Structure 1
């Protein structure tokens, strides 16, 4: 009996594989880091912004090298680690605590991981809208396909700034509207995210593109 060989499949590029792993980790880590506020000069931001900016950088890098369809699929699949992490956190919070665990440690754990339903719902909504918007703006600004470093940096900064501003509006409104006045918090977050988008994101995207290209080249 003749054996039929399975159809050949194209392996995932090494750069895309590494970026995808980083992306999944950042989707989960952003929610945890957000419980600490940090001061960067005059800017006061919640630390989750750093993970979220990396999500923007990774999605833009993938759109640049592998196309916006691949980047959009990555954003869509990012809901999977989000959902799994929420379920696992809920399970761990539900399980009885060990009598040997110090009360202070338990309180700290529950403070960080026990989020209100509004916050838990606002996070994925803001994530989906802002990341899809980032990929769309970044890809549309590409125009004729110019991939020079300057064009890449400008497109990354603009796409990140606009998408991060929308992210702040969605998340803060859904999570906190009606609980307390949100105007100052909203303006502060938008200013901080837009500023960091222009200061950090262009260089991170350039580095991400260079890293992915090098990984792809070494895999051949």
Structure 2
């Protein structure tokens, strides 16, 4: 009889993977709405908020568990996005209940019919920007354990550069031909770079500490 026990999954990976999968799907839905950057006339698609969480989660995993695991998280994290796109197409093809509220059906069809294009534009931007973020974040790592300020600086630089690239790819593929994209593209880049500098470093620091706390709790409960 083989008494070998399977290796335990670190609690941080379990929790972060759950969050990661949800954010990949939610980013596509939120992108349907473009938000005005008041007081300017620039716009930004609302999916950036979920996407920045993906940056934080993948960077935190890279810091705690290494670049290889973070890259695998990005690659396999595409699976829930692909499944949601397929499911949307399937549901849109089904006949609606004749008693369904007509305005509700029209709104559902309108929003979800445009969502697949936005969600389909996501994979190119998703893979390029998140893998680039992990690569830059890892390359900036110095010898030994990084200080908190070093961690925050690496997170800011990696996020700002990768998110600028993401904005160009995503906005062009998702909205070109549907609307004028100049203001949206400029607003998207500005918003992501600013958030990457003033918000992402603190979120990554929190994410790394949360991951280590979760792993300690997981080890203690296994004893």
- TM > 0.5 fold call: yes
Instruction: State how far apart, in whole Å, the 2-side matches of 1:92 and 1:157 are.
Output: 40
Instruction: State how far apart, in whole Å, the 2-side matches of 1:118 and 1:145 are.
Output: 44
Instruction: State how far apart, in whole Å, the 1-side matches of 2:178 and 2:21 are.
Output: 31
**Quick check: 1:122–1:174 contact (8 Å CA) kept in 2?**
yes
Alignment match, 2:214? 215
Deviates more, 1:207-216 or 1:5-14: 5-14
Q: How far 1:112 moved relative to its partner? A: 2.0
After superposition, the Cα gap between the structure-2 partners of 1:21 and 1:200, relative to the gap in structure 1 and judged at 3 Å, is same
**Quick check: 2:156–2:200 contact (8 Å CA) kept in 1?**
yes
Once the two structures are superposed, residues 20-58 of structure 1 have per-residue CA deviations (whole angstroms, 9 ceiling, x without a partner) of 100000000001111223356547422111100000000
Alignment match, 1:84? 83
Instruction: State how far apart, in whole Å, the 2-side matches of 1:118 and 1:149 are.
Output: 40
Once the two structures are superposed, residues 112-168 of structure 1 have per-residue CA deviations (whole angstroms, 9 ceiling, x without a partner) of 211276544321111111010010011111121442111111111111111110001
Deviates more, 1:187-196 or 1:49-58: 187-196
SS in 1 for 2:44: strand
Once the two structures are superposed, residues 159-201 of structure 1 have per-residue CA deviations (whole angstroms, 9 ceiling, x without a partner) of 1111110001111222344555433321121011101111211
Deviates more, 1:152-161 or 1:35-44: 35-44
Q: What does residue range 64-79 of structure 1 map to in structure 2 within 5 Å? A: 64-79=63-78
Q: What does residue range 13-32 of structure 1 map to in structure 2 within 5 Å? A: 13-32=10-29
Number of aligned pairs? 217
Q: What does residue range 46-195 of structure 1 map to in structure 2 within 5 Å? A: 46-115=45-114, 118-177=117-176, 181-195=180-194
Instruction: State how far apart, in whole Å, the 1-side matches of 2:85 and 2:183 are.
Output: 29
Alignment match, 1:12? 9
RMSD of aligned alpha carbons: 1.8
Deviates more, 1:41-50 or 1:174-183: 174-183
Instruction: State how far apart, in whole Å, the 2-side matches of 1:15 and 1:205 are.
Output: 14
SS in 2 for 1:38: strand
Task: Structure 1: give runs of 5+ residues left out of the alignment.
Answer: none
Deviates more, 1:148-157 or 1:170-179: 170-179
Instruction: State how far apart, in whole Å, the 2-side matches of 1:178 and 1:105 are.
Output: 27
After superposition, the Cα gap between the structure-2 partners of 1:116 and 1:35, relative to the gap in structure 1 and judged at 3 Å, is closer
**Quick check: 1:44–1:192 contact (8 Å CA) kept in 2?**
no
